[in-house]
Every structure is written in structure tokens, then in C-alpha cells.
Structure 1
Amino acid sequence: MDTGSLIISTVLLVIALLAVLSIVYYSWRNGISPLPASLLLRSKVAEEVLRLSKVQELDHPLFKLETDDPAQQYSIIQQHMEYQARQKTIVETGSGWGTLAIFLAKHIPNYHVIGIENSVVPFWISKWWAKFEKVPLTFIRGDMYQYPYEEANIIVCYLFPGAMKQLSTILRERAVAYTYIISVYFALPDWTPEKIVQCVDIHRTKIYIYKVGV
């Protein structure tokens, strides 16, 4: 092996080692390793998002004309139009390798998908993969516990019990009324699900649907 090949091999080995160490460190820090979502789970979550997007439009107070005053009716209709024109947002907390966020962005193009991930390697792989697939979405490298959820229409969680416990209080404080929360595998402590979907996979995975109180 010549000197050039040896240098390249050494550099690649060091990069691979640093990547592994980074994943191990953030897995220890976060309490869980980043796991890709199966195709079945991705499909079920997307199905629920599509259903909830229709429910939100009908359930939102802007869509209820409960007045006979023409001026108020006109104002409400104007708000309807503005609401419809705004970009709707899905936020995935702890997006990992990006499998779920990218799938949602592909299949629900009328929503802007934002994935939050603090682990360096999965974050960059997600960004590169989304760019390769030419999928328009946003990945943010940051702390999901510090994120402002006020602008989210739907929040998706594919996490672990410890994270769900922390998010339970955070989402009560930051998520606005009529926002829906979709949690895969683990329930939100002290929240009552509006619906529970059970998948037909080997784990009989449950998907919990919550609605932020009015």
C-alpha cells in the first residue's frame, strides 16, 4: 500500500471512529439510540396526520359561523382564508435518522415538516438524505426540550418513556389549543388520548393521539 492510500485509509478510519463515538455519546446522553421507523409505522402515522388535518379544519373555531352579524361573518371568512393560506407545520421531536420526517414530507406535501435532532451523525445523514431525495423539509440540530412548539399544528413523538415524561409538561405549556400530538410506542404521562391506534406489526405497536385542550 502506497503512502497516499495509507493516509486516505487512516483518515476514513478516524472519521468512522469519530462517527461511532459521536453516536454512542449522544445515545448515552439522550437515553436511547436513534432508531429508524418501520414502513408500517411511517404509513400509520401519515394516515393519522391526514385524518387529523381534516379534523383540525372542521374543529377550529374559525370554521364555525355561529353569528348572524354580517360584519362578524365577513371577518371570520377572512380569517378562514388566511388560515387556509398559511403553511401548516408538523414537528417531529427527536427525528433521528429522518426516516419518519422524510416520509411525512413526501406524502403530505401541504404541511411543512420540521425534524429536531441533537445527535450530530443522524442529523447530517437526515439532511443529506433529504437533499438526495429532493424532499422539502427542515432539520434543526437542537434540543427538543427547548423548542418553541407554539407554531406546530401537529407534533410527532417517536421517543422513550423518559423523554415523554419531560415533554408532558413542556407540551402543556407550549403547544396551543387544537394542536394534535401523535406519540408512537409510549404514552404521554398525565394525558388522556383521544384515540389509540394499534398496528399489526410483531410488537403490536400503539400510536397515541392527543389533542391539546381548548
Structure 2
Amino acid sequence: MLLDPCFLALYAGLALGVLGTVVALEAAQPYIGRVPPIPSVPRVRRAVLGALRRHWCSTPAGARVWELGSGWGGLALAIARDFPEAHVVGVECRTLPYWVSRARLILAHALGRCRNLSFIREDFRALELAPCAAAVGFLLPDVLRGLPGRLPKGCVLVSAVFPVPGLVPLDTHTGPTLRTYAYAYRIGSPLEQAAQPPVPV
């Protein structure tokens, strides 16, 4: 049976109203030092995953990995797929990206994937980050500056695109144009150590 056109118009209006409200709420939220929620490109994902593989060895089962400012969820999903023994937690404070990432996770679960991943809607600056084995973020330098002091000694920190001010990376992961896509650090390592040569991705 066909629906009455009036009901269809009403449903369409309600859907647009809800969408408009969500977009307005999203626009009203500050960026709080985050990079705008642009989906991570494949080169950045490969660089971040490569940095984790190189510096995060002998991962204990259930070790926590944070993605701080997880946006639309693509990078967190990739980390969960590559490190099935880890417990990956994506943290996102903005409404729309959070719910999109949740929807993607529901779909992944329906396909039997990424059971080791969860998303929470929080401001990561207010979270207790320890204990954790690794942390990943696509964050602006002002936010990165205070992050190492909140992570436990020995934790691997991988920063996408931006370096952590004041720290010397263990190494950098670059693309074909020699642009740096990821910086790898280990919390508690000597700051004066010499950086290793860039790793192509």
C-alpha cells in the first residue's frame, strides 16, 4: 500500500529537521585544538599503522590503544583490524563524527569484525589515559604539547602529520613526496637521542 503523500512530506520534513539540528550542534562545538574532522587518507593510515608495527612489539592481550580525537572512525577501525589482540578505544567529543563512527562499528560487528574496538563520546583532555600501551592522534601541536606528560612511561605515541613540540621522534614515516605523515615516540625515552632516518610508506 502506498503511503499518503502528506505523511511522506511529514517524514521528510522531520528527517531534514533532525539532520539540520545535528549539523547545527556539530557546528556549534569548538574544535578544541583538534584538526577539523577530515577522514584520514590512506597514506596517513599506512604511516600510522607502520609506526605502530615498528615500535609496538610483544603486545599483551587486551592492551589498550587510544585514538584521541577519532573523528569518523576510519583510523580506529584500521588499527583494530591490524592489532586484533589489542583493545582499541576511539575518543571523539563531537556529535556527528561520533555517531557516524558508531554506525560504522555496528556494521563492522555485523560482519564479524573489529570486536576489539569501542568508541566513547568524551573530551580526551578530561580522561585518565593511563594505563595504556599506545596512543594515536591527529592533533594540532598546542594539544600535542601536553600529551606526553599524561601517558605512562614506555607508551608508544604516534602523531599523524604534526610533530610533538619539544620531543625528538624515534623515527618519521614519509610518503613519496617526502612529506611526513607520522611521527613515532616512546614516552620516557631520552629527548636528546638522535632521530632515525625517515621510513618511506
TM-score by length of 2: 0.81
Say whether 1:49 aligns with 2:24: no
Residue matched to 1:80? none
Q: Distance in 1 between matches of 2:89 and 2:173?
A: 23
Paired residues of 1:199 and 1:205 also in contact (CA < 8 A):
yes
Count of matched residue positions in the alignment of Structure 1 and Structure 2: 181
Could you say which structure has the higher helix fraction?
1
- Residue type at the aligned position of 2:45: R
Q: Distance in 2 between matches of 1:32 and 1:47?
A: 21
CA displacement 1:189-210 (0-9 Å, x = unmatched)? 1222111111226x82331111
**Cα gap change, 1:23 to 1:200, in 2 (>3 Å):** farther
Say whether 1:16 aligns with 2:19: yes
Say whether 1:146 aligns with 2:87: no
In structure 2, the gaps of 5 or more residues are 190-201
Residue matched to 1:70? none
CA displacement 1:23-50 (0-9 Å, x = unmatched)? 2122555564211111222122112212
Q: Distance in 1 between matches of 2:146 and 2:10?
A: 51
Paired residues of 2:73 and 2:101 also in contact (CA < 8 A):
yes
SS at match of 2:127: coil
Residue matched to 2:138? 158
**Cα gap change, 1:29 to 1:184, in 2 (>3 Å):** closer
Residue matched to 1:98? 73
Q: Residue 127 of structure 1: CA displacement?
A: 1.1
Q: Distance in 1 between matches of 2:75 and 2:93?
A: 16
Paired residues of 2:71 and 2:92 also in contact (CA < 8 A):
yes
Identity of aligned residues (%): 23
Report the RMSD for the aligned CA atoms in angstroms.
2.1
Paired residues of 2:67 and 2:89 also in contact (CA < 8 A):
yes
Higher RCO, 1 or 2 (CA under 8 Å, sep at least 6)? 2
Q: Distance in 1 between matches of 2:157 and 2:147?
A: 12
Give the counterpart of 1:3 among 6, 19, 43.
Answer: 6
SS at match of 2:172: strand
**Cα gap change, 1:45 to 1:118, in 2 (>3 Å):** same
Residue matched to 2:197? none
Residue matched to 2:162? 186
- Residue type at the aligned position of 1:113: V
Paired residues of 1:149 and 1:171 also in contact (CA < 8 A):
no
- Residue type at the aligned position of 1:132: L
- Residue type at the aligned position of 1:99: G
Q: Distance in 2 between matches of 1:111 and 1:31?
A: 25
Q: Distance in 2 between matches of 1:111 and 1:36?
A: 23
Q: Residue 163 of structure 1: CA displacement?
A: 2.5
Q: Distance in 2 between matches of 1:207 and 1:29?
A: 21
- Residue type at the aligned position of 1:171: P
In structure 1, the gaps of 5 or more residues are 58-82
